């Protein structure tokens, strides 16, 4: 447990734990297909366990990839480029596309973090709800692009950050207005009540015609919105048939 952002040094035990699995004498006596299975089922699995709850620094992911690459091609914990028969990006491609199907840790870690944002919506009663997530702005942008919020009473969806306005976030419709607004985390219900979102715009910061154009574009979209107090807000995933 920590109240501060974890540094690279805090993940040294993870790197050591993975390195301890790479027994050189054993690796050299295991054929390449066997080493590939070990990379997938042991080394990668250890990393996934940590990535489920933590946002691992890029440096740590690179170190783990270096260990996975070395064991895959040479059966040890270090390897030179000459022994790598295929570049690592290709190795991490699905078998269907000519790769070996070894997980790309960076992309898979991002996918795992998106689950935190999804569960925040689907099960707000989880013990960790409200304590924050290991997600960064890039994760939130991906989540907003891949999801659509259906507004009912407007009590759960956040006005600026949720993709509730025809599947788009208001902050993406009017980014300059978002930048000069207070109370960025207020709900849709509160923001629309008596034009509250307008009162939170810093009028003195409107310095260009672009500000005015974006404000007008957002205001026009909002004039057609009617909340339904008898229906809760919900969320759907854009890239699945059932929305989940």
Instruction: Determine the pLDDT at residue 2.
Output: 60
Tokens of 62: 């690179």
166-202 b/e with 16+ CB inside 10 Å = b?
eeebbbebbebbbebbeeeebbbbbbbeeeebbebbe
- Mean pLDDT of the region 230-237: 94
pLDDT in tens, 73-84: 988 888 877 788
Check pLDDT > 60 for residue 25.
no
Angle at 173 between CA 169 and CA 178, to 5 degrees: 80
Instruction: Determine the pLDDT at residue 8.
Output: 82
Check pLDDT > 80 for residue 193.
yes
At 159 the three-state DSSP class reads coil
pLDDT in tens, 101-122: 999 999 999 999 999 899 888 8
Which is nearest to 219 in space by CA: 173, 151, 154, 164? 173
Q: Identify any residues that bridge with 234 across adjacent strands, giving them in sequence order.
A: 150
Contact yes or no for 154/161 (Cβ under 8 A): no
Contact yes or no for 204/182 (Cβ under 8 A): no
Q: Within 10 Å of residue 114's Cβ, how many Cβ atoms?
A: 19
Q: Identify any residues that bridge with 165 across adjacent strands, giving them in sequence order.
A: 168
Q: At what angle do helices 105-122 and 58-74 cross, to 10 degrees?
A: 130
* H or E segment to which residue 70 belongs: helix 58-74
């Amino acid at each position: 447990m920590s109240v501060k952002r974890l540094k690279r040094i805090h993940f040294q035990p993870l790197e050591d734990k993975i390195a301890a699995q790479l027994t050189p004498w054993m690796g050299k006596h295991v054929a390449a297909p066997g080493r590939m299975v070990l990379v997938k089922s042991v080394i990668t699995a250890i990393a996934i366990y940590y990535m489920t709850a933590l946002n691992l620094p890029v440096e740590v992911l690179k170190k783990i990839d270096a260990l996975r690459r070395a064991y895959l091609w040479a059966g040890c914990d270090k390897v030179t480029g000459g022994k790598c028969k295929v570049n690592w990006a290709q190795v991490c491609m699905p078998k269907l596309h000519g790769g070996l199907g070894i997980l790309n840790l960076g992309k898979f870690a991002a996918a795992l973090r998106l689950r935190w944002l999804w569960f925040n919506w689907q099960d707000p009663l989880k013990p960790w709800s409200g304590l924050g997530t290991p997600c960064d702005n890039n994760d939130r942008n991906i989540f907003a692009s891949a999801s659509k919020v259906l507004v009912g009473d407007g009590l759960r969806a956040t006005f600026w950050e949720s993709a509730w306005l025809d599947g788009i976030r208001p902050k993406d419709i009017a980014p300059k207005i978002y930048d000069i607004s207070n109370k960025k985390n207020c709900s849709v219900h509160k923001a629309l009540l008596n034009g509250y979102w307008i009162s939170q715009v810093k009028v003195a910061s409107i310095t260009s015609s672009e500000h005015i154009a974006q404000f007008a574009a957002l205001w026009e979209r909002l004039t057609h919105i009617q909340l339904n107090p008898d229906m809760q807000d919900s969320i759907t995933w854009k890239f699945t048939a059932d929305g989940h």
